[in-house]
Amino acid sequence: MAALKTQILGLLLSIPGLILALSLHEFAHGFAAYKMGDNTAKYYGRLSLNPFHHLDPIGTLCLFLFHFGWAKPVPINPYNFRSRRSGIIVVSLAGPVMNFLVALICAFILAVMERFVHFNEFVFFIYQVVLYCEILNIGLGCFNLIPIPPLDGSKVLLELLPYRYRDVFYQLERYSSLILVALLVTNVLDPVLGTMRSVVTLAINFIVGLVF
């Protein structure tokens, strides 16, 4: 019973962080595309911080239940970019970078709270919400950097690959979703994701440590 209560509490504490992580991730893609010359996201009303414009009900539920999920992809037309190749790379990286920036802001908030705020039950609750937000944003940013379609990292990898290897990549892409699910279910990606999260966390703590 105690374990169940802990899981439910963790789920409740993670809700604000999940909504923020997914919404800002997709907003960043759309905003970067807009800055690179593509108005598609703006035309479809996706240059918005409103979570309801970005959240996919099934993808969000899967994120809660299985710790991997998705939001509604921001519509983008790479042929509108001033530079197609650099545009795709910048737009693809914008989502994870946004997640890492949010995690950094959360880390600064936590550091301020630890040093200057007197803790009571309410403050401790807020502290936990911000902590979960930091952890979830780091996790989502790292997950999306994995170079397997349809994740953002795959789009960056495709643009960096020599043209002679792209046909092989396209051939594998049709099975990519099944490959990704299989890797997640079998926990094959856990060591990779764990290392990525550790590196990002160390970098964030280093930056915060320069101030405090």
Out of 26, 114, 121, 134, the active site residue is 26
Alpha helices in the chain (DSSP H): 2-35, 40-43, 57-66, 84-116, 121-144, 152-160, 166-173, 176-185, 190-211
CB atoms within 10 A of CB 53: 18
Residues 6+ apart with CB under 8 A from 178: none
Query: What sign for the dihedral angle of Cα 91, 36, 99, 41?
Result: negative
Widest CA span of the chain, in angstroms? 61
Nearest to 92 by CA among 179, 134, 32, 10: 32
CA 109, CA 26: separation in Å to the nearest integer? Answer: 23
User: How far apart are alpha carbons 101 and 204 in whole angstroms?
Assistant: 9
The yes-or-no answer on residue 26 being catalytic is yes
Catalytic machinery residues = 26
